[in-house]
Amino acid sequence: MAYIFLLLIVFFLLFKDDCETGYSGKNATAGNRAVYVRCSPPRSVRFEFVNIASCMEAYRGFGVNSSCKAGCLGLLSCADVCPRGAISSSLDVSQDLCLGCGKCLDVCPLNLIEVSQKASARVFVKCSSEADGSCSSGCHRCYKCVDECPGGAVYVDENGKVLIDYDRCDGCMRCVKRCPPGVMKSI
């Protein structure tokens, strides 16, 4: 009986952080994935939220809060629920701190947080807008990143959104250097 109790204590000490977050895997980038937010905080807002506690509550009551219909609401619920503080106020995710617990994905009403399933994911598009020029901090739809990619990994979907095929991306970062508004980011 004492042996089982001792094993339970050792297990708890080894996996304490995983038990606290409810995540039973490895660090988000230690395996084969990376977590990122496909948006920057809004630079211009339509209205200030008063007595609204979360992005979900704000979205249900008001909808979008910036000129971009696919943009972040700016209340940072994702950062608030992160047990390790991996998401900053600029919506950058520290891959070293992120456990991949998924709590941030659950609280984003616009599904702006994504998980890449590829180890080669070292680049992502920090914009989820499908509209041309609707956001001052988003993709301008110049598609210079697409032209710059030597392996054809950066492409445009049927809605005009820039995406990355991680099976083809070699992580050269040429798209990041070529992007005028700076929405092509390295992880």
- Return d(Cα 26, Cα 99) in angstroms, integer: 7
- Nearest CA to 71 out of 116, 151, 137, 3 is that of 137
Radius of gyration of the chain (CA): 19
Q: What pLDDT, on the 0 to 100 scale, is given for residue 106?
A: 94
Q: What pLDDT, on the 0 to 100 scale, is given for residue 75?
A: 87
Q: What pLDDT, on the 0 to 100 scale, is given for residue 21?
A: 39
Helices (H) and strands (E) in the chain, counts: 7, 6
Q: Please measure the distance between the N-terminal and C-terminal CA atoms of the chain and give it in whole angstroms.
A: 47
The full set of domains in the chain, from first to last, is: 23-186 (3.30.70.20)
DSSP code per residue over 139-177: --S--HHHHH-TTS-EEE-TTS-EEE-TTT-----HHHH
Instruction: List Cα–Cα distances, 113 to 51, 75, 93, 172, in angstroms.
Output: 25, 14, 10, 23
Q: What pLDDT, on the 0 to 100 scale, is given for residue 144?
A: 96
Ranges under pLDDT 50 in the chain: 5, 7-8, 10-31
With beta carbons less than 8 A apart as the criterion, state whether 33 and 100 touch. yes
pLDDT, tens digit, for every residue of 65-93?
Answer: 666 777 888 889 999 999 999 999 889 99
- Return d(Cα 144, Cα 138) in angstroms, integer: 14
> pTM to 2 decimals?
0.74
In DSSP terms, 114 is beta-bridged to 36
Give Cβ neighbours of residue 163 (< 8 Å, ≥ 6 apart).
Answer: 125, 154, 155, 156, 157
Q: Where are the alpha helices (DSSP H) in 22-159?
A: 55-62, 77-81, 103-107, 144-148
Q: What pLDDT, on the 0 to 100 scale, is given for residue 26?
A: 34
161: phi > 0 → left, psi -120 to 50 → alpha, else beta; which?
beta
